[in-house]
Chains A and B, each alone.
Chain A
Amino acid sequence: MERKLNTPISADVIKSLKVGEEVLISGIIYTARDAAHANMVKSISNNSAPPFDFVGQIIYYVGPTPAKPGRAIGSCGPTSSYRMDKFSPFLMEKGLKVMIGKGERSDELIKEIKKQKAVYLIAIGGIGALLSKTVQSSEVIAYPKLDAEAIRKLTVVDFPAIVAIDSEGNSIF
């Protein structure tokens, strides 16, 4: 039976999440993938304000297809997380707590997750149609020129994910 989680996920709940656990997430999550990560890290490094307050929040690695008329979002499954390994430690140092993507991450990243008491969840790759049904609303909040890679604020209900690296640094892979 999947465990229900509401966002933002508290430090205590993050600590209680164990590797392999199936969860259903409801609430606000933010999207960012390659280009948005590069931009965010660059602007914060230059002492500019981050495009949104990600402290204690969830970043989901996704670049959705365009929404058809009458729909909140298009197909929206996870993209490979390893490409964000270069940027995630910096964001975790600044307060990011939960990441959702797909696939393995580097050993350095696992160490950093443990150090920051964060958590890495995976969604199943290639099920973007099914996942789109859990998205109630979607709003571009930063980098609109990046189109699919723009940062979006999503409201989700029962978004299915699996704990892949827990706050103790245990990995499912």
Chain B
Amino acid sequence: MLTIEKVLVIDSVKEMIMESTVVLDKTVVDKLLFAYDSEKSVLAKSVLEKIIQNQEIARTENIPLCQDTGLVVCFVEVGRNLHFDYDLSEAINEGVRRGYIEGYLRKSVVAHPLKRVNTKDNTPAVIHYDFIPGNELKIHLAPKGGGSENMSALKMLSPADGREGIIDFVLKTIKDAGGRPCPPLIVGVGIGGNFEHVAYLAKKAIFRQIDDASSVMEDRLLEEELLDKINKLDVGPMGLRGATTALAVKVESAPCHIASLPVAINLQCHSARKKEVTLYGKKA
């Protein structure tokens, strides 16, 4: 019987939270540097410069990149050979609790959407599970900010709307959002599935590496066309106009009903914080 110690899960989650909220991944910084070099607008350049300076200060002085240290979202892949004699979600939430308290991070979760009483430890996280072959437990984690999440959107298109309908909806969503979701953005687009699955796909899309491309040709072409068109919208960094509205577009697709063309857009701000860890099962 293979298992992973509970304390290892707790500590890994805690460390991912404390690290990701302070250190922006180098692949994201590289995209920002590239955008700074190519941006022509003076104001847009000044905004990008401050965003780049900010991540340097955050990293070297151990200050959170952004005051919105998010609601934690996890995609967990569980190896089929693993057995847990404890509640895995509870262990992840214990890691969240410790990370937010020990890391001096903002607690931004309320227990009920209408009563709005803060849970004071940023739990619970939103956790998605999937099974994979083997002996590993993979946890992909993102402290997701509220500003960009609020500007996300979902629409059930008709199959006749097709590719053009998808592009129009994505462009309208980003244009209307303007500076509110803190561009430059990473745009996650889900297409297909059904009502709830398409939102899951859009979220999954923003967990991809910023510099990768879809392995599905149709989706890859859509990513390229959308990135080009989004950056021609002239929204710009923080909505102050310019050529840098999105750093990347990620499309995830799934089979769907003959009557449907679901589309979801999940926006990720420039403070694109995420981490992943792989833990290996050991004999209990």
Cβ A63 vs Cβ B106 within 8 A: yes
Q: How many residues of B contact A (CB 8 A)?
A: 39
Per-residue contact bits, chain B 137-149, to A (CB 8 Å; 1 contact, 0 not): 0000000000100
B247 at the interface (CB under 8 A from A): no
A26 contacts the other chain (Cβ, under 8 Å)? no
How many residue-residue contacts, CB under 8 A, span A and B?
122
Chain A interface residue count, CB cutoff 8 Å, equals 36
B178 at the A/B interface (Cβ < 8 Å)? yes
Partner of A129, one of B58, B68, B150, B269: B58
Which of the 9-residue segments B45-53, B76-84, B213-221 touches chain A?
B45-53
Asked if A126 and B269 make an inter-chain contact with CB atoms under 8 angstroms apart, the answer reads yes
A125 touches B105 (CB 8 A): no
Q: How far is the CA of A130 from the CA of B64 in the complex (A)?
A: 10
**Which residues in B have their C-beta under 8 angstroms from that of A22?**
46
Provided the pairs A74-B104, A76-B67, A148-B106 are in contact, do residues A130 and B239 lie with their beta carbons within 8 angstroms? no
Contact A104 B179 (CB under 8 A): yes
Residues A65 and B53 in contact in the complex (CB < 8 Å), given A80-B147, A126-B270 = no
Over the window 141-173 of chain A, the binary record of Cβ atoms lying under 8 Å from chain B Cβ atoms (1 yes, 0 no) is: 000000110000000000010100000000011
Indicate whether A133 reaches chain B with its CB closer than 8 angstroms: yes
Question: Contacts A63-B67, A79-B68, A103-B239; is A173 near B104 (CB within 8 Å)?
Answer: no
With A80-B150, A82-B180, A124-B47 known as contacts, the answer to whether A129 contacts B106 (CB < 8 A) is: no
Given the complex of chains A and B, what is the CA–CA distance between A106 and B107 in angstroms?
29
A residues whose Cβ falls under 8 Å from a Cβ of B: 20, 22, 35, 62-68, 74-77, 79-80, 82, 102-104, 122, 124-130, 132-133, 147-148, 160, 162, 172-173
A-B contact pairs, 10 of them (CB 8 A): A65-B106, A74-B64, A82-B180, A125-B179, A129-B57, A129-B58, A129-B66, A162-B43, A173-B178, A173-B239
